[in-house]
């Protein structure tokens, strides 16, 4: 596979992207990243999913914690608390530097994609990391507790409110970031990472032009299921599926992506009987580096099987 494009959110998706980065040529892989989680906090522009990819691919991620950087110090948070500042969103000192540098560059007129590319180069990351858009598109959850911005729902409320509906504010005005459509059009394989379909992949598909580019590509489009053993590995995916009146199974995931994907990669022990979708199998739980490579290879093998 010469050119591989992967649509991804944060932690779950980054595991697959890391695996792919180990088995593809250094200039072959483009990750198009959800920015529906981006928000302004304490005057800073925070891009959680882009940061997760930057940290994961540069070897700086705190994998035990599941977010942020390894070996962080927390002087800023302690000082902020002393001042009675907002402390519901944890910002380690190194993490803070990234947000300050990004926000400063944005105020100087640089785009999110330019800034992301610069940080990736600075940290020696070969994978091309593209934000889905340089414009704001905010994921908003309409819940039994009212309308919540993504981070308020995800971090402050720990996904407890029941979700009735998900909206992507700004979607009509957002345009794909430079290179996004071209990457999809010239890809030999397009992968949907096992990210949350509703909160990580749907915002990407809400950017006008991205979904249609994927539908039109001749390259095989392969989704890796976020369900293992009939439930989500982590996060609110399964809870959301129930709240949105879906069965928590791979058929629902395949149906959700109907018209978009050619195949779905699911765990060995799971089932998928959705019509017109090729089903691939492997052990899809990614804990160790070898797991990530195995799942990445299985997704690429599934894509290659469409050539013949």
Near ligand GDP in 13-52, by CB under 6 A: 13, 15, 49, 52
- The H-or-E segment that residue 16 falls in is helix 11-23
Interface with ligand GDP (CB under 6 A), residue from 192, 232, 264, 274: 232
CB of 285 to ligand GDP, least distance (A): 5
Contact at 8 Å (CB) between 140 and 37? no
CA pair distance 194, 116, nearest whole angstrom:
22
Residue 304's CB is within 10 A of a number of other CB atoms, namely 13
CB within 8 A of 125, min separation 6: which ones? 54, 57, 58
Interface with ligand GDP (CB under 6 A), residue from 36, 176, 220, 235: 235
CB of 180 to ligand GDP, least distance (A): 18
Interface with ligand GDP (CB under 6 A), residue from 2, 81, 234, 271: 234
Bridge partner residues of 149 (DSSP):
140
CB of 249 to ligand GDP, least distance (A): 13
State how beta strands 138-143 and 146-149 pair. Answer: antiparallel
CB of 194 to ligand GDP, least distance (A): 3
State how beta strands 138-143 and 163-169 pair. Answer: antiparallel
Near ligand GDP in 185-204, by CB under 6 A: 194-196, 200
Decide whether 110 or 256 has the Cβ nearer to ligand GDP. 256
The residue sitting closest to ligand GDP, measured at its beta carbon, is 12
* Crossing angle for the helix pair 112-122 and 48-57, to the nearest 10 degrees: 20
Q: Classify residue 237 by burial, with Cβ atoms within 10 Å: 0-12, 13-18, 19+.
A: buried
CB of 35 to ligand GDP, least distance (A): 11
Decide whether 80 or 246 has the Cβ nearer to ligand GDP. 246
Decide whether 104 or 140 has the Cβ nearer to ligand GDP. 140
284-303 footprint of ligand GDP as x/- string (CB under 6 A): xxx-----------------
Which two three-digit tokens encode residue 105? 């560059």
CB within 8 A of 66, min separation 6: which ones? 11, 234
**Does 244 contact ligand GDP by CB under 6 A?**
no
DSSP string, 234-290: STTHHHHHHHTT--SSHHHHHHHTTTT-SEEEEETT-----TT-EEEEE-----SHH
Near ligand GDP in 245-284, by CB under 6 A: 284
Near ligand GDP in 89-148, by CB under 6 A: none
Decide whether 109 or 265 has the Cβ nearer to ligand GDP. 265
CB of 122 to ligand GDP, least distance (A): 23
Size of the site for ligand GDP (CB under 6 A): 24
Decide whether 30 or 195 has the Cβ nearer to ligand GDP. 195
Where does this chain bind ligand GDP (CB under 6 A)? Answer: 9-13, 15, 49, 52, 194-196, 200, 224-226, 228, 232-235, 237, 284-286
């Amino acid at each position: 596979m010469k050119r591989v494009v992967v649509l991804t959110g944060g932690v779950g998706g980054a595991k697959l992207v890391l695996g792919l980065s180990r088995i593809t040529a250094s200039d072959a892989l483009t990750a198009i990243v959800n920015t529906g989680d981006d928000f302004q906090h304490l005057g800073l522009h925070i891009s959680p999913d882009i940061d997760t990819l930057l940290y994961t691919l540069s070897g700086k991620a705190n994998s035990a914690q599941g977010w942020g950087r390894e070996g962080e110090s927390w002087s800023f948070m302690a000082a902020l608390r002393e001042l009675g500042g907002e402390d519901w969103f944890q910002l380690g000192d190194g993490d803070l530097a990234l947000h300050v540098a990004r926000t400063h560059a944005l105020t100087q007129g640089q785009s999110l994609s330019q800034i992301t590319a610069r940080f990736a180069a600075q940290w020696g990351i070969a994978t091309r990391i593209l934000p889905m858009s340089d414009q704001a598109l905010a994921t908003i959850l309409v819940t039994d507790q009212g309308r919540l911005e993504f981070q308020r729902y995800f971090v402050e409320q720990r996904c407890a409110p029941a979700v009735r509906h998900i909206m992507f504010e700004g979607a009509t005005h957002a345009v794909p970031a430079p290179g996004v459509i071209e990457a999809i059009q010239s890809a030999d394989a397009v992968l949907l990472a096992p990210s949350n379909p509703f909160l990580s992949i749907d915002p990407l598909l809400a950017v006008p032009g991205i979904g249609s580019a994927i539908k039109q590509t001749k390259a095989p489009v392969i989704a890796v299921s976020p369900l293992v053993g009939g439930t989500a590995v982590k996060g609110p995916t399964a809870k959301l599926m129930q709240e949105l009146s879906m069965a928590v199974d791979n058929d629902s995931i395949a149906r959700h992506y109907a018209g978009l994907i050619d195949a779905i990669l699911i765990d060995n022990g799971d089932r998928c009987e959705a019509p017109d979708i090729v089903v691939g199998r492997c052990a899809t739980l990614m804990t160790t580096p070898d797991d990530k490579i195995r799942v990445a290879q299985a997704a690429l093998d599934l894509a290659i099987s469409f050539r013949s």
